[in-house]
Amino acid sequence: MIKQIVFITATILSFGILGYSLLRIYSFLKLTKSHKSGPLGKRISKTLFVALFQTKILRRPVIGVLHALVFWGFIVILFGSLEIIIDGFTGIEKSLSSLGFVYHVISISGDVFSWIILIAICVFFVRRVFLSVKRFEGIEMKRRSHSDANFALSLIFILMVTLIWMNILSSAMNLEEGKLLYPINALFGQFFTSLDHTILLRAYEINWWTHIGVIFLFMNILPYSKHFHVFMSVPNVFFSRTEPLGKLPNMDNITKEVKLMMDPNLAFAAPTEPVSEIERFGVKDVEDVTWKNYMDSLACTQCGRCTASCPANITGKMLSPRKIMIDLRARMKEKAPHILKEGKGYNDNKSLLRDYITTEELWACTTCNACAQECPVNINHPEMIVFMRRFLVMEESAAPTGLNVMFTNIENNGAPWPFSPEDRLLWANDLTTN
Amino acid sequence: MNIEIPVMADVTAKGQQPEFLFWVGCAGAFDDRYKKVSRAFTKILHHLNVNYAVLGKEETCTGDPARRAGNEMLYQMQALTNISTFTRYNVKKIITICPHCYNIFKNDYPDLGGHYEVINYTQFLQTYIENGTLKITSDKFADKSITFHDPCYLGRANGEYAAPRKVLEAIPSTKVEMKRNKSFALCCGAGGGQMFKEAEKGNKEVFIERTEDALETGANIIATSCPFCMVMLTDGLKYKNKEEEIFNYDIAELIVMAMGW
């Protein structure tokens, strides 16, 4: 009974704190602009492929398979965690066993995956600590990024060790049932059958409490860690655009202005709608981004596949697509609480553009979409880059000289180079064929 | 035989309606090297008896370089101008060589009310090769090996990796892939407005990195299907002092050379 009360209190507390953290992030999200995600059917099939079948992470096959196994293992083991919570609330043991065959399949898979995840986590750890993987480095990768990663790996390690011990000890206490539900750990469990039942039960409970305790701890650290991607990656894929990568979102407020400019009749007609607040063109700071841009930054786990494929980064330029996401999240964390407290007019004389992301980074992008193509959770970095270029060009006329010349050429001659439209057919002169 | 290029204004004045608009693009009209590609593709259109026309002096920039560089205002002015020209000539199908023009017509113009069937010339050629109309039997390139550089705006931007390869497949020759190809392909370095500006400080030029990928294959010919890629890779070959032994041709040029047109 005491166990139940302690457990229920701990659970409510943990979910309460998690709820608070998530609501806070949601209130940040509400400061941003709208985003169109596209038709539902397409988004569901995309989520199935990219998230569930891990198609993009498998573009790097070796490490990709390991990640996919951990992901699939987590889904299976999530059922186990759900059972632990129900058990803890009701005081019943193995409360979901009434599911029969399904329960057997889940238990057996969970048993197998506990070892697969443990091994994978060890590989990840060795890789991070002892092999120098180039994409884990970069100007944006601070000490904190690395300790964040190692801490999360350690927690998952403890989760798996305690789960494995729970299955071993459970098998030791009831070998017949253990062999059915935990075929791998029952192999170890048979060595402990001779031990006193109370000792086994005590050991089992220690592991049980450690396991659920670490789960509660982990889920409350996630919203403040780069490992928030555990929660955000599937929704992020679901809300990502379904159109080809080459498409950029249209600026409807510009369309209105351009149509006015091009049709003089419209310009002198009485305004049909009230003059709305003048919107800023492009992105200067966090409140100018779409909620999906911000979600992208929350779903980023800093794996660096984007930066490793970026032609500008490969050739030593400042640009790192991963940094764009890290900066966006950090700036939101810095500014949003003040906007919420002091209102939209809050100004700290800093902005995402320039104070976090320099113009040198933005102008180095070739919009080749390699970063977006690689991102396992469908983050769209080029969109953010173009949004910030829009601010630089249309609000500040701060484009590099070469681009300003190109703009002027298009305005005057309808071509990015200084050639007369009158000469547009010269290429076809004296064209003959056999 | 002389080829007269049909111009939209003249053709429609005679009461005829061409099936396709052939969008030449700024590079196709003005870049000395790339004019040869426009000429090559026009020869192909002529030999395939395609019912097409060009806009000629009425063509103007799609607005793509302005858009990727952040000048949405200028892009939309160009786009709305083009859309009204297309409406005037009742344009339904557009063929482009340049993948940047292809991408913006296909993906961005619909938001401004311009809905067209947009066909990249590699897709167009693929159709004619697959239905047997365009057959290449010449052994002009039989002893050559060709590597294809994927343009970002045909490849990753629109998922079209097959069409250019199908077309090259039809030219008797050896094909070799670069280590980074299809969706993994490295950009030539000219997209997103880079063509028109100095590169930011770094330790290498992107076009040199990509040229090295191409040289590593040992191919005699680098095939491209984008005006910017062509500028970049041709420069890369010069930088590496390979322009005497290794050649950069557009896919349309390879067909015309193989056919002896």
The CATH number of residue A316's host domain is 1.10.1060
Q: Which residues of A223-243 are buried (b: 16+ CB within 10 A; e: fewer)?
A: bebbbbbbbbbbebbbbbbee
Mean pLDDT over residues B164-185, rounded? Answer: 98
At B187, which amino acid appears? C
Considering only CB atoms, B203 lies closest to which of A316, A401, A425, namely A316
Residue segments in chain A with a per-residue pLDDT below the cut of 50: none
- Kindly state whether residues A297 and A223 are assigned to the same domain: no
> Which among A32, A414, A360 has a CA at the least distance from the CA of B59?
A414
Contact flag A312-B46 (C-beta cutoff 8 Å): no
Instruction: Note the pLDDT of residue A245.
Output: 97
Instruction: Note the pLDDT of residue A83.
Output: 92
- Kindly state whether residues A376 and A314 are assigned to the same domain: yes
Considering only CB atoms, B80 lies closest to which of A258, A407, A425, namely A258
Cβ atoms of A376 and A57 within 8 Å: the answer is: yes
Instruction: Note the pLDDT of residue A262.
Output: 86
Any chain A CB within 8 A of the CB of B69? yes
Q: Which residues of B2-27 are buried (b: 16+ CB within 10 A; e: fewer)?
A: ebebbbbeebeeeeeebebbbbbbbb
Q: What are phi and psi of B76, to 5 degrees?
A: -70, -30
Which of A248, A254, A279 is best to mutate for the B interface (most B CBs within 10 A)?
A248
Contact flag A394-B39 (C-beta cutoff 8 Å): no
CATH code of B136-259, in short, is 3.40.50
Mean pLDDT over residues B208-225, rounded? Answer: 98
- Kindly state whether residues A147 and A263 are assigned to the same domain: no
Contact flag A314-B103 (C-beta cutoff 8 Å): no
- Kindly state whether residues A223 and A263 are assigned to the same domain: no
- Kindly state whether residues A302 and A166 are assigned to the same domain: no
- Kindly state whether residues A12 and A145 are assigned to the same domain: yes
Any chain A CB within 8 A of the CB of B54? yes
Q: Alpha-carbon dihedral of residues A349, A249, A54, A74, nearest 10 degrees? A: 50
Q: Which of residues 135-154 of A touch B (CB under 8 A)?
A: none
The CA–CA distances, whole Å, from B146 to A105, A118, B217 equal: 53, 47, 9
Instruction: Note the pLDDT of residue A2.
Output: 87
Instruction: Note the pLDDT of residue A279.
Output: 80
In a domain, A432, yes or no: no
A335/A348 Cα distance (integer angstroms): 8
Q: How many residues does chain B have?
A: 261
Instruction: Note the pLDDT of residue A261.
Output: 87
In a domain, A48, yes or no: yes
Q: What are phi and psi of A145, to 5 degrees?
A: -60, -40
Contact flag B5-A394 (C-beta cutoff 8 Å): no
In a domain, A434, yes or no: no
- Kindly state whether residues A218 and A257 are assigned to the same domain: no
Retrieve residue A147's tokens.
């300790």
Q: How far apart are the first and last CA of chain B?
A: 10
- Kindly state whether residues A181 and A119 are assigned to the same domain: yes
In a domain, A186, yes or no: yes
**Tens-digit pLDDT profile for residues B113-145:** 999 999 999 999 999 999 999 999 999 999 999
The fold of the B8-126 domain, in CATH, is: Rossmann fold (3.40.50)
Domain boundaries, chain B: 8-126, 136-259
Q: Which residues of A406-430 are buried (b: 16+ CB within 10 A; e: fewer)?
A: bbebbeebbbbbebebeebbebbee
Considering only CB atoms, B187 lies closest to which of A311, A316, A432, namely A311
Contact flag B60-A254 (C-beta cutoff 8 Å): no
Question: Domain range spanning residue A391?
Answer: 252-269+281-413
Query: What residues in B contact A250, CB-CB < 8 Å?
Result: 108, 111-112
Considering only CB atoms, A373 lies closest to which of B66, B156, B193, namely B156
Q: Which residues of B187-220 are buried (b: 16+ CB within 10 A; e: fewer)?
A: bbbbbbbbbbbebbebeebbbebbbebbbebebb
- Kindly state whether residues A258 and A221 are assigned to the same domain: no
Which of A46, A410, A413 is best to mutate for the B interface (most B CBs within 10 A)?
A410
The total number of structural domains that make up chain A: 2
Any chain A CB within 8 A of the CB of B70? yes
Q: Which of residues 180-239 of A touch B (CB under 8 A)?
A: none
Contact flag B108-A247 (C-beta cutoff 8 Å): yes
- Kindly state whether residues A216 and A325 are assigned to the same domain: no
Contact flag B200-A405 (C-beta cutoff 8 Å): no
Q: What value does the mean pLDDT of chain B take?
A: 97
Q: Do domains B8-126 and B136-259 have the same CATH topology?
A: yes
Any chain B CB within 8 A of the CB of A405? yes
In a domain, A105, yes or no: yes
Query: What residues in A contact B195, CB-CB < 8 Å?
Result: 416
Instruction: Note the pLDDT of residue A426.
Output: 96
Any chain A CB within 8 A of the CB of B148? no
* Angle at CA of residue A170, ends A166 and A176, nearest 5°: 145
A270/A274 Cα distance (integer angstroms): 10
Helices (H), A244-390: 252-262, 264-268, 291-299, 305-309, 311-314, 321-342, 359-363, 370-374, 381-390
- Kindly state whether residues A189 and A298 are assigned to the same domain: no
In a domain, A337, yes or no: yes
